[in-house]
Structure 1
Amino acid sequence: MGAPHNGNDAEHIAGDVVQDTATHEDNCDMTDEQTDEQSYGPPAHLAARFNRNRANARRKSSAASSRRNSLTSVHSHASSRRGSGLGCQSNHIAQHLRRASIIESRKARLADRAAHADQVRLRAAVAKATPRGSTSVSEERALAARIAKDKYLAKVAAACAEEVARAKRIAEEVKERKLAEETRVRLEMEERHAEVEKRRSEYQRNLQARRARRADSAEKKLAIVEELGDLDEEAVEDQPTLDQETASIRIQRAWRMSRKQRTVKDFLKLELNTATKAGFDEMTALLAEPATISATIALLTQLGLQDSDNAALNTKTFLSAYLMTAHPMTVLSNKTGAQEQDLKSKAAELLANFENTLSRLAAWNDYASGATQLETLSQCYTAYTSAFAAWRMQDSSVLIEGMVASFVELDAIWQTVKDDSRGEVASDFREGIRDNQVMMLSRIRKIAGPDKADFLIKKAIRESRKRRPKKRNAADVRPRGVEPAPSGEVEVSAVQNAADPSVALARIEELPSGSTADVTRKLFTPMPSNRVLTHELAIDKDYRLSDSLETTALREELYRSVCTAMRQGFEEGSGHLWTLSAAQNVRDKLLRMLKPGNSMHTLINNTLDLDSINRQCQAGVFSYDGFFAFMAGIVPKLCAPFRDAEIAILSQQLLDTSDNSLDGMIDKLFKLLRAVDRLSLDYSNFMLLNAAPTLIQEAAGYEARAFAADLDSGKATLERVTRWWQSALHHLNAEADRRDPDGLRLDRPAAGKIYCRALVDLAIEQNSMLAIDEIPETLHLDMHRLQNLRRQSIRITVIGAVLLTAKNLLKRDVRGQWKNEASRLWQLLSSDEYESDTAEPTPAQKAFSIMETAHNMPPATKQQLSGTITRLFGQAAGSRFTDPVLKVMFQRLKTHVTLRLSASTPSERVRAASSASDTLTSCGLGEMVTQVSSIVDTLERVRMVDWAAHTQWYELVATRE
């Protein structure tokens, strides 16, 4: 059995078989042709054996595909053994059968291959058409390779970064070593030069000593000669002598040397150096002594650092370097700005060079420093004096602004209290305000100069008084036809009101607030109650009645509805009711302004007779043109002088007859009603102007009686007052316990201090909304005022935080006041909310644009400041501050207001007001002095009125604790 053949061997064998078969066929043909002639073939059994051996020699056995095992091979062998008579014919048939079998098997094999190839192509097409649900192996490998590549690159980058950092560090170290080496070499060269100078001076001294010894020896020799008598007089006369000029030069040189030596010794006796440990007060006293200043002037002049001009001022500037280096935090007022740091570094450098130069002054160098050292010292001195002058100018400008603001604040206080009718408040404040203003004026003039000081103060006072509401003269606000009360009558009225406050309130009862005859009266005469009126006058003596925005909007809405109702009434035939109502409204208001018996009172009463108008309306003969013409002539005679222009326009509109339609008549009627209502409002304000002193004097008693009546009737309780008082007391006790953890304090907070703390906690809070249950019953009339103070305190804190952040980012002095930016931010926040979903741009963007247009900023600073403003505005719109800057500044504002309200005497209040500018500047709120003073002033007036009216109930609540 041989080795099995593959497909190629089978093809070769098949070809050989076909070739052998053809050869045997040719041989058989040749044998057949030659048989007739002669037969030379071997016997049959030999031929069969020969053919079998030949076939075996060509084929190789195979276990699976051997042709010997086929039927044709068996048949061939069997036929060959049967006899040799078949010969070539049997061989030909066998070969033909084998050939056919091979061809058939090959065809089958090829068909199987074709079918397999078709199946493979079909599977490939199906696999290609089917969407792949997951990543193939090759893609996963590619992804893994990419990830590995990224990791490797990151590792390489990190290694490179570390290498670069190490290289930079090495470079910095090399640079520092080079600088240190250069410094060392320079110091060595200076020491060598000093050593050379020392040796040269030593050599000169030795030379002079040798010359002196020679002179002494010569003199000794001369003396000996004289003693021996060997030297005659001529020889003595030939001895060299000094002339007068040479002697004077030597004497002057010795005198200058002794003077320089004395100057240096005098300064060294002061023991003034950078290593001194003296306290601030002790060192200040030492530097201010005349001996210190004179010794320093002499030494600086000897070194050539200053001349005789302004020697004392320049010397004090130089001596301040010692104080600044020894006590920087005290001198610079804890300021750590760039300017202060630069000044401190230059002061330290100046003193280091000065002490180095001073240590080299000695007799061998004639107490004179080298040219290089002196040049370095001069440069340091110039740099320090320039930086000190810039810092002093900046500090003086801030100081001047603060003192001017304090001066204006005192003037505002005086303008508030100077009109006190009884004179008690004015007398208490006059002396304290005058003394503080004189002191501040002298300081401002000393720093800024007389002319500039007067200009700044006048300008600031003028601007402050412009912001105050202007007062009209009594003649301008008094309606025509209203006679002013005689002075004697006013005095009698004041005496009567002092005995019975109800008499004073009786005049207010005449105001239109009590008249509610019809719809038009309700529409055009909204008046506060007497209690509200007296309370507002007690808080603000210049209080006058006016129309608020809410009242105006409501009035416009009611105006449109009443016009519609009036038009509908005229169309339905009931217009005479509306006419009669309007005439009654106008008549009552005009007659209330006039004194009975007056000619104008009689004319209006007779012309606007209601019975006559009613009869005319029912008869259909009432003339609106005549009514409007009469009112156009009467109204200008009753209005106040400041309304002349407005009433003149109204008169022209009433006399205009071009539009006689129903709508035109109704429009004229309501314009007339509006004008009459304004005249009535002027009359009410004029009555308030006359009755205000008496009402203010009796406001506390009236409010106390009204509150007692509410308590008796059950309309009010002391529940919220008690809770409010206890909360303030708890906070004060907690603060006292923190200051005294051992609990050794024996004092308890007074009632006035508790009230001030409670009032400040109520008025200054992070939540701008004030709920009704938070207001104590005694302060319910001040709810809107307290809510407005909350909004103002939040606005002040936000503006201060924005400005402080911008100054720190721009490396500016935080004490510098950016008043223009603060004013623009105040106007922005007064009109807009902190957050708006519909506004574009947002309030935060508007605030950032204000800061951006005022100061140049790098892109990084712009981005940081914009984000900070957005964050601050977002917290201000909420109910709680989380930003550290906001929390600290809000707490400082609250503490400042509490301290100012806690001042009990007028002198303490004046002192607190005069120092308010410096305090707020140190807190970062220097630009908001005016706004903070307004809050303090409002709370002070509320405190005075409320405490005077409700003292007994506050004391009752305090005794319950």
Structure 2
Amino acid sequence: MDQDGPAPEADLAVYTPNDDIPEEADDMSLSGNNTNSSLQAWNPPPRLAARFCRQSSASTRRKSSAASSRRNSISSTHSHQSNRSYHGGRSSQSNHVAQHLRRASIIESRKARLAERAAHAEQVRLRAALAKKTTTSRASNSEERAQAAQQAREKHLAQVAAACAEEVKRAKKVAEDMKERKAAEEKRYRLEVEERLAEAEKRRAEYKRNNMRRPRTGSGAAAAAGEVRKPVAQVALRLDDDTAAKRIQNAWRIKRRKQMFEAFFGLGLTIDRVRETNFEEMGVLLNEERVLSTTSRLLQLLHLQHEEDKTTMQTGTRNFLSAYLILGRPAEVLSSKDGDQEKDLINKAKDLMIGFESLLMKALASKIYAIDPTLQENLAMYHSAYLTAFTDWKARDASALIEGMVASFVSLDAIWQSVKDDTDGEVASDYKEGIRENQVILLSKIRKLAGPDRASMLIKKAIRESRKTKAARRKPVGDLRPRVAIETSMDEGSATGSNETVSATAAAASHIQHPTAAAEGLQASALTRLFSTVPPNRILVHELAIDKEYRIDTEPNSELRDAVNREVCDGMRKGFEQGEGNQWTVAMAENVRGKLLRLLKQGNSMYTLIAETLDPEFIQRQCAQGVFSYERFFGFMASILPKLCAPFRDEAVKALCDDLQEFGGLESMIEKLFKLLHVIDLLSLDYSNFLLMGAAPKLIEESAGYEQRMFAKDLQDGTITLHKTKCWWRNASVNILTEADRRDPLHRPTTQKIYAWGLVDLAIAAAPLQEKGIPETLRLDTTRLFHIRADAVRITTIGAILLTAKNLLKRDVRSQWKAEATRMWDALKFGGYSSSEDDNSSSMARKILSIIESSRPLPTATKDTLTSTIGRLLQQAEAGRLTDPVMKVLFQRLKTHILNQLSASSSGERVRAASTATEGLASSGLAEFVGQVGEIVDALTRVSEVDRKAHGVWYEQIASEAEGLGQREEEGGQSGEAS
């Protein structure tokens, strides 16, 4: 095969289909070359041709399957066939036609691709338009959210700025202090450097002065002769006395510091050891004399203490050592680790210990045990801050303890005031001994915490306020004796001191008020008693037995009597309008005459004057003759009323007299008559109380027997039964026995315990008091039990609100918020749990919240939470269903506390319960209600004593029946088990 000749046709046939389709420029150049040159046809040998043809056909078959190949196009096929035909010597088409077809095919394919791209671009444009439209609709919502987010961010930033204002202020202050401290430190360093330079200059001058000159050498001849120069003897450096003393003192100070550091480290005081050691053992260790003396000397070395008396130095040392306990045992030392003051104290103690240990470590690292001035200054600053925080915390904790102990002291004094007038003397002597012992213990503790002078002042003030409050509740301020009764007080006192029965005395007091009741008939007597200021005899005796200073109150029937007087005055007005004025005038004068004569003793000059001036027959003759004048009548009343009233009523009577002297028309006359009747009722009340003061000792002495006889009479007549009392006793027995079996099955409660349990269940309950649940023996105390229930719910509600506020503000629950508690008590007592405006507790909740917010700032989140909590608690208290967990716990603690005090059977137990009452209430979260709880306990105690004295026989009978029934049921159960 010729190497220089053109490529054979077989090679073209084989390799041309596998090559890529050339571009237009390549095809044109190739066609040009084929046109200008002549190629010879050459056929290979048969074996080679068969071989190459076989490969070409196989390759062609493989490539023909690709429908998308460019070589399968018409132009490529024609070009390939034309080339083969040209080289083979056959007839072929023009190269121009092939190229044209190929170009047309390429153009078509490119147009198709461009059309596809245009369609795709259109789809993309449509999707973009749709997306833009959707984005535009969402833009407004996004802008609103962005604005809301911006506003929230600005609000949050404002809150953060407000919250950080104090921190920035404190940081500025710290920076200023640091700047001043650095300036002082630089000044001190400058002075130290100057002192050191001066000392170095002084040593240099001293050295020059003491150093001896070197002797001159010999002459040159002597040197040449070989004379040997003698060595100069070294003279020892001699120190003056001041320098030697300074060196000795410096060495002594180094040794002293070393001994102090080693002695303190020998104690082994570390925070880890405090954590690992028992609290009591660590307390004993810190109180050892060796620990106190070693620590005190080290604190003096560090200038944290000064030479003072031994007691002051030990106090300062104990305050310093308390930092170890605060960091190692915060739960035992601090009442609450979550309070702001406690957290600040822990942080100050941590700074103190870090500074103290850093100074000791650096001093030990020095060979001369030198104390770094910077660390010493920082330690002094930390120590001062810690002592300030520790003193504040201790003062607040001590104030809470002092208030609690003073309240316990006052409670013991109240018990003594209630039993000191005992006629037998045995009860008073028993209580006196126990009260004196407990008061001495409390007084010593109060003096230790508050000091002798302040302790005496606090105790005297608390006792004076307690007695003043109790006296104010018993009677109003002023002289209650009517002026006309002062002259006959001796006669009345002798009459009441006679040996009459209590029923006769009570009946006499009642008949003094109503001498004409028997003549008016049964119906008139009942109507007169309904509007009388004096209660029935049994109620009068019962109230006197419970409260020796009991006085008749006009409030229960005042509105009813005023309403009746108003009806009478309206009827009188109509009678005057109808021409019946004379009859009404005579009736009115007779009514006023009868009320005034009841205030006087027959035969008295004032009695005779009133009886003659207001005689019904004389008034009737004046009216018939037309000479009766209401102006003279009111003038006469204005002249005698100041002589009849008590000094306590002077202002009210003076105002009435001034009003009576100004006479007007019919309406004015009727209104003055109404006021006159009202004041006469008040004078009758004062006179009744005066008579009651004289009859009270005898009534109290015979009260138990009188109540017992009246109760037995009611049982005998069938007016009452013991059904409710038996049910009440049975329920109390079952409850206390169940509790006793749970605690100690061998312990059986006494009758006193069962009675106390039943009385507490009856008095301390959330639901309103029902008539069917009151025993017949306690029927006269229904009003008192109702008020006690209301007070218990009110105490629990206010206590839950204050406890929630303390927890939200992270305050100590033992701290007493007395001012807030008092204001809430008055608001709920006089305003109720709901508002009259919207008939729900929202306005009252806002009022309660304003009381808390007025004295303590509340964050917004805390304010919202507390508002919802107060509203929920008020709703539960109003409905009588305490479902809130805090209220349930507080109510149960209050009930248990009152039961423990009421169950005390002996004087010693009662005194111990009273002395620990304040501490118990403080731990229960009711520290602000020591006085209110004490009043409830005192009231229930007096009710219990009077009730058991009057109805003890029936209680013993019911208890025996209940015990026999229980034994029979137990025997029946045992026989059933045996069978």
User: Matches of 1:647 and 1:245 in 2, distance apart?
Assistant: 98
Report deviation, 1:599: 2.8
2:653 aligned to 644, 647, 653, which one? 647
Is the contact between residue 261 and residue 363 of structure 1 (CA under 8 Å) also seen in structure 2? no
Q: Which amino acid aligns with 2:391?
A: A
Residues 692 and 253 of structure 1, relative CA distance in 2, 3 Å threshold: same
User: Matches of 1:951 and 1:271 in 2, distance apart?
Assistant: 68
Is the contact between residue 589 and residue 676 of structure 1 (CA under 8 Å) also seen in structure 2? yes
SS for the counterpart of 1:690 is helix
Matches within 5 A, 1:126-275: 252=249, 255-274=252-271, 275=273
TM-score, normalised with respect to structure 1 = 0.68
Matches within 5 A, 1:909-928: 909-928=910-929
Report deviation, 1:638: 2.2
1:734 alignment partner in structure 2: 738
1:716 aligned to 682, 702, 720, which one? 720
User: Matches of 1:942 and 1:582 in 2, distance apart?
Assistant: 43
Q: Which amino acid aligns with 2:550?
A: Y
2:595 is aligned with 1:589: yes
Is the contact between residue 481 and residue 637 of structure 1 (CA under 8 Å) also seen in structure 2? no
* Structure 1 residue ranges without an equivalent (≥5): 1-137, 154-233
1:785 alignment partner in structure 2: 784
Is the contact between residue 513 and residue 527 of structure 1 (CA under 8 Å) also seen in structure 2? no
Deviations along 1:535-594, whole A, 9 cap, x unmatched?
Answer: 11222222222222x633333332333233334455667666544544443333333333
Is the contact between residue 717 and residue 777 of structure 1 (CA under 8 Å) also seen in structure 2? yes
Report deviation, 1:932: 2.0
Report deviation, 1:679: 1.9
Report deviation, 1:688: 0.8
Is the contact between residue 820 and residue 851 of structure 2 (CA under 8 Å) also seen in structure 1? yes
2:835 alignment partner in structure 1: 836
TM-align CA RMSD: 4.1
SS for the counterpart of 1:496 is coil
Is the contact between residue 640 and residue 682 of structure 1 (CA under 8 Å) also seen in structure 2? yes
SS for the counterpart of 2:687 is helix
Deviations along 1:743-794, whole A, 9 cap, x unmatched?
Answer: xx42211222222222222222122x21101211111111111111111111
Residues 263 and 657 of structure 1, relative CA distance in 2, 3 Å threshold: closer
1:301 alignment partner in structure 2: 300
Report deviation, 1:431: 5.0
Is the contact between residue 303 and residue 368 of structure 1 (CA under 8 Å) also seen in structure 2? no
Deviations along 1:861-897, whole A, 9 cap, x unmatched?
Answer: 2211111111111211122122222122222222222
SS for the counterpart of 1:392 is helix
Is the contact between residue 339 and residue 391 of structure 1 (CA under 8 Å) also seen in structure 2? yes
Report deviation, 1:317: 0.7
Report deviation, 1:503: 3.5
Report deviation, 1:382: 4.1
User: Matches of 1:887 and 1:315 in 2, distance apart?
Assistant: 46
| Deviates most, 937-946 or 234-243 | 234-243
SS for the counterpart of 2:684 is helix
Report deviation, 1:843: 0.8
SS for the counterpart of 2:854 is helix
Is the contact between residue 740 and residue 748 of structure 2 (CA under 8 Å) also seen in structure 1? no
Deviations along 1:362-387, whole A, 9 cap, x unmatched?
Answer: 59734456567656655554443333
1:601 alignment partner in structure 2: 607
Is the contact between residue 523 and residue 555 of structure 1 (CA under 8 Å) also seen in structure 2? no
Q: Which amino acid aligns with 2:694?
A: N
Q: Number of paired residues?
A: 730
Residues 718 and 335 of structure 1, relative CA distance in 2, 3 Å threshold: farther
2:481 aligned to 459, 477, 483, which one? 477
2:322 alignment partner in structure 1: 320
Is the contact between residue 889 and residue 923 of structure 1 (CA under 8 Å) also seen in structure 2? yes
Deviations along 1:682-710, whole A, 9 cap, x unmatched?
Answer: 11010011111221222222112222222
Residues 752 and 718 of structure 1, relative CA distance in 2, 3 Å threshold: same
Residues 655 and 306 of structure 1, relative CA distance in 2, 3 Å threshold: closer
User: Matches of 2:953 and 2:245 in 1, distance apart?
Assistant: 96
User: Matches of 1:687 and 1:703 in 2, distance apart?
Assistant: 21
Deviations along 1:595-615, whole A, 9 cap, x unmatched?
Answer: 333333334444444555567
| Deviates most, 560-569 or 683-692 | 560-569
2:188 alignment partner in structure 1: none
Q: Which amino acid aligns with 2:738?
A: A
Deviations along 1:642-700, whole A, 9 cap, x unmatched?
Answer: 323433444455555544x4x55544444433333222211101001111122122222
Q: Which amino acid aligns with 2:957?
A: L
2:454 is aligned with 1:447: no
Is the contact between residue 523 and residue 558 of structure 1 (CA under 8 Å) also seen in structure 2? no
Is the contact between residue 814 and residue 924 of structure 1 (CA under 8 Å) also seen in structure 2? yes
Q: Which amino acid aligns with 1:846?
A: K
1:542 aligned to 542, 549, 555, which one? 549
2:371 is aligned with 1:365: no
SS for the counterpart of 1:770 is coil
1:756 alignment partner in structure 2: 756
Residues 292 and 466 of structure 1, relative CA distance in 2, 3 Å threshold: same
1:566 alignment partner in structure 2: 572
Matches within 5 A, 1:295-694: 295-309=294-308, 310-333=312-335, 336-347=338-349, 350-351=352-353, 354=356, 365-368=367-370, 378=380, 380-417=382-419, 427-434=429-436, 436-437=438-439, 439-470=441-472, 471=475, 476-486=480-490, 490=493, 493-494=496-497, 496-497=499-500, 500-512=501-513, 517=520, 521=528, 525-548=532-555, 551-569=557-575, 578-610=584-616, 627-654=633-660, 656=662, 658-659=664-665, 661=666, 663=667, 665-694=669-698
Residues 604 and 826 of structure 1, relative CA distance in 2, 3 Å threshold: same
Residues 371 and 869 of structure 1, relative CA distance in 2, 3 Å threshold: same
User: Matches of 1:758 and 1:335 in 2, distance apart?
Assistant: 41
Q: Which amino acid aligns with 1:323?
A: L
Is the contact between residue 513 and residue 526 of structure 1 (CA under 8 Å) also seen in structure 2? no
Q: Which amino acid aligns with 2:270?
A: N
Is the contact between residue 764 and residue 790 of structure 1 (CA under 8 Å) also seen in structure 2? yes
SS for the counterpart of 1:835 is coil
Report deviation, 1:530: 0.7
2:700 is aligned with 1:703: no
TM-score, normalised with respect to structure 2 = 0.66
Is the contact between residue 797 and residue 874 of structure 2 (CA under 8 Å) also seen in structure 1? yes
User: Matches of 1:907 and 1:491 in 2, distance apart?
Assistant: 39
Report deviation, 1:406: 3.4
Is the contact between residue 350 and residue 384 of structure 1 (CA under 8 Å) also seen in structure 2? yes
2:846 alignment partner in structure 1: 845
SS for the counterpart of 2:833 is coil
Q: Which amino acid aligns with 2:876?
A: Q
The percent identity for this pair of structures is: 50
Is the contact between residue 273 and residue 355 of structure 1 (CA under 8 Å) also seen in structure 2? no
Report deviation, 1:813: 2.9
Is the contact between residue 793 and residue 877 of structure 2 (CA under 8 Å) also seen in structure 1? yes
